[in-house]
Amino acid sequence: MARSKRRGRPPGSKNKKTAGKSVAAMDVAQLRAHIDGLRNMLAKKVSEQRAYFEGQLAQLGGYMSKKTAAAKAVAPRNGRSGKRAKAKPKYQSKRDKSVRWSGRGMTPIWMRDEMKGTKLKKEDFLIK
């Protein structure tokens, strides 16, 4: 018959659960004080970690905390913002002069249809 291994800590290990026994022996006032102490410690650790990670992200330059947001609002902006102006047309249909294309994006269907079966190229549709 095979013996099964025991799970958990081996007998006599030092990290025993004594917190459960001491909490069970506390009265209500002691438990509330213990819980308040744990909450304060948790809040302190969370604020320490938050400060650490905000510092790390600030070094990367992609994140601003509330303190640095005000400083950046005062600093001058370098880039362009807003929408681009509408592109001026570069190409015009040979058949219908009112149909135009700016040259951005995919080749329009009207241009493909006019080039099909002919020797016309994209340069032939340029507006002069």
- The pTM of the whole model exceeds 0.75: no
Q: Which of 123, 88, 91 is nearest to 109 (CA)?
A: 91
Rounded CA-CA distance 60/72 in Å is: 15
Q: What angle do CA 48, 50, 52 make, to 5 degrees?
A: 70
85-97 per-position pLDDT tens digit: 899 999 999 999 9
Rounded CA-CA distance 93/113 in Å is: 10
Q: Residue 79: pLDDT above 80?
A: no
* CA 97 to each of CA 14, 106, 126: distance values in angstroms, whole numbers, following the listed order: 90, 20, 12
**Residues in CB range of 16: below 8 A, 6 or more apart:** 9
Q: Label each residue of 13-79 as H, E or C.
A: CCCCCCHHHHHHHCCHHHHHHHHHHHHHHHHHHHHHHHHHHHHHHHHHCCCCCHHHHHHHHHCCCCC
- What whole-number percentage of the chain has pLDDT above 90? 50
Q: What angle do CA 61, 67, 73 make, to 5 degrees?
A: 70
Out of 4-13, 20-29, 99-108, pick the least confident. 4-13
23-61 per-position pLDDT tens digit: 888 899 999 999 999 999 999 999 999 999 888 888 887
- Where are the domains positioned within the chain? 22-73, 91-125
